[in-house]
């Protein structure tokens, strides 16, 4: 005979409270470990390398050496003629890559600065992983610009110094704005990466021997964690968090003005600034999802620091940014379509029915349909490989978007006798080279610096607790975070 | 004559550390003679310590002003050094100038903020310092100087108030 079991009223509440407390343990902030143990976990993840690591390292090194350095050297020796850029598409994949990598770089600032300002606690374990993407992404963006220059040894002509005839560069040109904005962003984001890294470098210094000890000792600068050092560090991080946000917005807006300032069909658009910024965040968020999934799958102990809650939060951000991107895309499209300009109409038809229309429609599918169909579901958002796959497709879609804006749109101009489709040549190898170098840098960094900001995680865990309100267990966050005082 | 020595009291938690610092005040050790080090930031209020001043904000502001002036030179000064008139266009257009002013202001503000941390914290400092590696494991260290003759008195007082260990210490290579 089946007997229906029932909790006594009090016992049921207590049971539920225990469950609630147990549920909270799935969140990093409510599942603290002793600091020494967390340090050990991060150090082990940094020091442990398997043969698979070295195989990937070797493949990426070979790709970087051949597709980046050899191919670029060959292009420098032979001239830009070995690339596919020619009339009317003088701006080819090099600038597609420049815009793409600058876009990737936006994720670091967004996660580290904007989420820090708004105290989004889920950011804590992966701020550094995102900030590293900013620095390494900007290196690839810079390299792509220099590739585009062709005669790269004359790059100093852009520097703010007078030439032999005492003529200074023209600071009214969008290309000079680019140089200054990207320089500011590279330096700013690298400093912003380094400042919160200092306490973790000191932690690594205390736990390493040999050459690593010397390496960490030099980089830790003698940090001990005195009250003064923390105060100076926090004040600086606070200033950086607020100041780097407008710089981030300015960089991609200025990049968009490289196009929008030209009176070309498809380019001259007042909405290009925010459209580019949102596009940058779109690809950047997707790239962070890929990096986190790889970190979690391949590095020791990362499943403690990077959890389903982080993929869930990131997935929500990706969905919101995807909606914003769709809004700006349609905003740009409808105004140009409604304008009725003959050449713009021709260009829009070229996008939709020309030889590159497959790219146009895949862009829409990857950037809008895929995230909207998958990321609405919490359970799906929490699956690392699925979120990383969505991130990968978004990045392919965003690369296509830049390709459509630059070489595909340059095909159509007001002189039909010049219309000619762009076929990349050596650019394909150089593109592979920039991706290989980005991954190689990341791989090396994962073994040289702590990818998890342990002190920030501990600070967050100190601020979080569970408390009982009546019979219920509720999460509670204290305002002990010095960073935003 | 008794010599000065440095004592390190190590704590696992903030509350006993705050009690220990109160006791040191009672025993005549001023805040200037106490150094607290920790692996996570702890506010002065938690330990009842005086507010830490920093010059980082002032340096950032100074850098921003210098950057603004440099941007003004690039935008409004350099065209004047070798004026090139382009039909109908202003030699000193303001809208593009705003971009240069903004970028240079931000660049110099960020650089001087970064430099400010180095100046205020005396980084880099590779000379021997008073430190124990347990700090980065989450312990809180309280250093203070006292007369060698008072060593026992301080050690007993701090041990009673929950210090994990109290010992004399010396500067060492980190």
pLDDT tens-digit map of A361-381: 999 999 999 999 999 999 999
pLDDT for the residue numbered A116: 87
Q: Chain A interface, mutation test: which of B136, B142, B169, B174, most A Cβ atoms within 10 Å?
A: B136
Would an 8 Å CB–CB cutoff place B97 in contact with chain A? yes
Residues of A in contact with B125 (CB under 8 A): 221-222
Q: Chain B interface, mutation test: which of A36, A41, A236, most B Cβ atoms within 10 Å?
A: A236
C-beta atoms of A232 and B104 within 8 A: no
Give which of A406, A397, A410, A329 is closest to A359, Cα–Cα.
A397
C-beta atoms of A229 and B121 within 8 A: yes
Give A247 to chain B, closest Cα distance, Å. Answer: 7
The nearest alpha carbon in chain A to B139 belongs to: A35
The Cα A343–Cα A415 span in angstroms is 10
| pLDDT at residue A1 tops 50 | no
pLDDT for the residue numbered A481: 53
Highest average pLDDT, of A27-36, A266-275, A397-406, comes from: A397-406
Mean pLDDT of chain A: 91
pLDDT tens-digit map of A328-355: 999 999 999 998 899 999 999 999 999 9
Give B118 to chain A, closest Cα distance, Å. Answer: 9
Domain boundaries, chain B: 4-53+126-169, 56-121
Q: At what angle do helices A427-448 and A127-149 cross, to 10 degrees?
A: 150
C-beta atoms of B107 and A187 within 8 A: yes
Other beta carbons within 10 angstroms of residue B51's beta carbon come to 10
Residues of A in contact with B137 (CB under 8 A): 34-36, 39
Q: How confident is the model at residue A7 (pLDDT cuts 50, 70, 90)?
A: very low
Domain boundaries, chain A: 35-484
CATH code of the region B4-53+126-169: 3.30.70.120
CB A89 within 8 A of CB A411: yes
C-beta atoms of B117 and A233 within 8 A: yes
| pLDDT at residue A5 tops 60 | no
pLDDT for the residue numbered A12: 53
A322/B151: higher pLDDT:
A322
| pLDDT at residue A472 tops 90 | no
| pLDDT at residue A18 tops 80 | no
Would an 8 Å CB–CB cutoff place A270 in contact with chain B? no
Give A225 to chain B, closest Cα distance, Å. Answer: 5
Give A14 to chain B, closest Cα distance, Å. Answer: 30
Q: Chain B interface, mutation test: which of A230, A453, A483, most B Cβ atoms within 10 Å?
A: A230
The nearest alpha carbon in chain A to B89 belongs to: A172
Question: Residues 125-184, chain A: which have Cβ within 8 Å of B?
Answer: 160, 162, 165-169, 171-172, 176-177, 180-181, 183-184
| pLDDT at residue A299 tops 60 | yes
Residue with tokens 């967050």: A460
Runs of H (alpha helix) within A25-126: 35-47, 51-63, 71-78, 93-109, 115-117
| pLDDT at residue A295 tops 80 | yes
A472/A436: higher pLDDT:
A436
The nearest alpha carbon in chain A to B112 belongs to: A236
Give which of B114, B121, B113, B117 is closest to B37, Cα–Cα.
B121
Q: Which of A34, A228, A482 sits opposite B121 (nearest CB)?
A: A228
Per-residue pLDDT, averaged over A209-229, amounts to: 95
Residues of B in contact with A458 (CB under 8 A): 39-40, 138
pTM: 0.92
Per-residue pLDDT, averaged over A144-167, amounts to: 90
What is the ipTM score, two decimals? Answer: 0.94
C-beta atoms of B126 and A223 within 8 A: no
Strand order in the sheet with B140-147: B34-38, B140-147, B4-11, B165-169
Would an 8 Å CB–CB cutoff place A217 in contact with chain B? yes
Give A462 to chain B, closest Cα distance, Å. Answer: 10
C-beta atoms of B121 and A223 within 8 A: yes
| pLDDT at residue A484 tops 60 | no
pLDDT tens-digit map of A192-209: 999 999 999 999 999 999
Q: How confident is the model at residue A119 (pLDDT cuts 50, 70, 90)?
A: confident
C-beta atoms of B123 and A230 within 8 A: no
Per-residue pLDDT, averaged over A45-55, amounts to: 93
Angle at A421 between CA A415 and CA A427, to 5 degrees: 125
pLDDT for the residue numbered A353: 95
Would an 8 Å CB–CB cutoff place B92 in contact with chain A? no
pLDDT for the residue numbered A24: 75
Question: Residues 461-480, chain A: which have Cβ within 8 Å of B?
Answer: 462, 480
Residue-wise pLDDT tens for chain B (174 aa)? Answer: 568 899 999 999 999 999 999 999 999 999 999 999 999 998 888 888 998 899 999 999 999 999 999 999 999 999 888 888 888 888 888 899 999 999 999 999 999 999 999 999 999 999 999 999 999 999 999 999 999 888 899 999 999 988 999 999 888 888
Would an 8 Å CB–CB cutoff place A35 in contact with chain B? yes
Instruction: Establish, for the pair of chains A and B, how many residue pairs have beta carbons separated by less than 8 Å.
Output: 190
Q: How confident is the model at residue A485 (pLDDT cuts 50, 70, 90)?
A: very low
C-beta atoms of A230 and B74 within 8 A: no
C-beta atoms of B82 and A162 within 8 A: yes
In chain A, the percentage of residues whose pLDDT exceeds 90 is 79
pLDDT for the residue numbered A319: 98
C-beta atoms of A172 and B131 within 8 A: no
The nearest alpha carbon in chain A to B78 belongs to: A168
Q: Chain B interface, mutation test: which of A116, A169, A180, most B Cβ atoms within 10 Å?
A: A180
The Cα A406–Cα A93 span in angstroms is 8
pLDDT for the residue numbered B45: 86
DSSP result, chain B = -PPEEEEEEEESSHHHHHHHHHHHHHTT--GGGEEEEESS---HHHHTPPPPP-SHHHHHHHHHHHHHHHHHIIIIIHHHHS----TT--SS-HHHHHHHHHHHHHHHHHHHHHHHHHHHHT-S--S-B---GGGGGT-EEEEEEEEGGGHHHHHHHHHHTT-SEEEEE--B--
Residues of A in contact with B54 (CB under 8 A): 228, 231-232, 235
Question: Residues 47-66, chain B: which have Cβ within 8 Å of A?
Answer: 49, 52-54, 56-57, 60
Per-residue pLDDT, averaged over A289-295, amounts to: 96
C-beta atoms of A222 and B116 within 8 A: no
| pLDDT at residue A471 tops 80 | no
Residues of B in contact with A465 (CB under 8 A): none
Give A317 to chain B, closest Cα distance, Å. Answer: 28
Give one word for B7, left, alpha or beta, with left for phi > 0 and alpha for psi -120 to 50: beta
Per-residue pLDDT, averaged over A87-112, amounts to: 92
B107/A107: higher pLDDT:
B107
| pLDDT at residue A15 tops 70 | no
The nearest alpha carbon in chain A to B131 belongs to: A224
Cis, bond preceding B43 (omega within 30 deg of 0): no
């Amino acid at each position: 005979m089946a007997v229906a079991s029932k909790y006594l009223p009090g016992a049921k509440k207590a049971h539920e409270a225990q469950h609630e407390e147990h549920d909270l343990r799935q969140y990093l902030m409510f599942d603290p470990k002793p600091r020494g143990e967390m340090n050990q976990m991060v150090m082990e993840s940094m020091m442990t390398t398997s043969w698979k690591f070295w195989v990937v390292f070797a493949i990426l090194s070979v790709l970087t050496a051949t597709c980046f350095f050899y191919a670029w050297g060959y292009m420098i020796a032979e001239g830009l003629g070995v690339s596919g850029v020619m009339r009317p598409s003088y701006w080819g994949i090099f600038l597609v890559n420049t815009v793409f990598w600058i876009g990737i770089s936006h994720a670091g600032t967004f996660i580290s600065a904007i989420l820090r300002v708004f105290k989004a606690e889920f950011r804590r374990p992966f701020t550094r992983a995102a900030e590293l993407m900013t620095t390494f992404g900007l290196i690839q963006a810079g390299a792509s610009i220099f590739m585009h220059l062709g005669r790269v040894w004359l790059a100093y002509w852009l520097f703010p110094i007078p030439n032999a005839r005492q003529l200074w560069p023209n600071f009214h040109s969008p290309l000079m704005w680019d140089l200054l904005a990207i320089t500011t962003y590279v330096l700013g984001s690298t400093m912003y990466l380094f400042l919160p890294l200092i306490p973790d470098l000191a932690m690594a210094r205390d736990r390493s021997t040999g050459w690593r000890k010397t390496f960490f000792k030099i980089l830790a600068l003698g940090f001990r964690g005195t009250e003064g050092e923390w105060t100076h560090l926090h004040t600086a991080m606070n200033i950086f968090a607020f100041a780097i946000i407008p710089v981030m917005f300015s960089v991609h807006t200025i990049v968009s003005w490289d196009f929008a300032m030209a009176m070309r069909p498809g380019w001259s658009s007042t909405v290009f600034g925010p459209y580019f910024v949102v596009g940058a965040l779109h690809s950047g968020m997707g790239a962070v999802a890929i990096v986190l999934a790889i970190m979690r799958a391949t590095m020791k102990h990362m499943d403690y620091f990077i959890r389903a809650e982080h993929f869930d939060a990131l997935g929500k951000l990706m969905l919101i940014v995807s909606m914003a991107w769709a809004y700006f895309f349609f905003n740009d499209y409808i105004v140009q379509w409604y304008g009725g300009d003959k050449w713009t109409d021709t260009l829009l038809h070229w996008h939709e029915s020309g030889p590159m229309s497959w790219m146009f429609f895949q862009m829409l599918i990857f950037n809008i349909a895929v995230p909207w169909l998958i990321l609405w579901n919490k359970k799906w958002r929490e699956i690392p490989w699925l979120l990383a796959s969505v991130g990968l497709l978004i990045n392919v879609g965003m690369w296509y978007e830049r390709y459509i804006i630059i070489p595909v749109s340059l095909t159509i101009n007001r002189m039909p006798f010049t219309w000619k489709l762009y076929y990349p040549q050596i650019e394909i190898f150089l593109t592979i080279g920039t991706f290989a170098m980005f991954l190689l840098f990341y791989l090396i960094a994962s073994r040289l610096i702590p990818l998890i900001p342990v002190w920030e995680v501990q600070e967050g865990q100190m601020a979080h607790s569970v408390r009982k309100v009546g019979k219920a267990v509720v999460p509670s966050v204290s305002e002990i975070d010095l960073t935003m005082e | 004559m008794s010599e000065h020595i440095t004592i390190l009291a190590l704590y696992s938690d903030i509350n006993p550390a705050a009690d220990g610092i109160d006791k040191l005040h009672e025993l005549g050790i001023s805040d200037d003679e106490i150094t607290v080090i920790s692996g996570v930031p702890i506010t002065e209020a938690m330990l009842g310590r005086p507010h830490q001043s920093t010059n980082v904000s002032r340096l950032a502001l100074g850098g921003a002003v210098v950057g603004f002036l440099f941007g003004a030179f690039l935008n409004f000064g350099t065209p004047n050094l070798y004026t090139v008139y382009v039909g109908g266009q202003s030699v000193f257009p303001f809208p593009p100038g705003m971009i240069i002013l903004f970028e240079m202001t931000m660049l110099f503000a960020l650089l001087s903020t970064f430099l400010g941390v180095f100046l205020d914290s005396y980084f880099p400092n590779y000379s021997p310092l008073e430190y124990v590696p347990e700090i980065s494991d989450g312990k809180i260290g309280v250093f203070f100087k006292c007369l060698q003759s008072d060593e026992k008195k301080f050690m007993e007082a701090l041990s009673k108030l929950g210090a994990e260990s109290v010992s004399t210490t010396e500067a060492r290579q980190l």
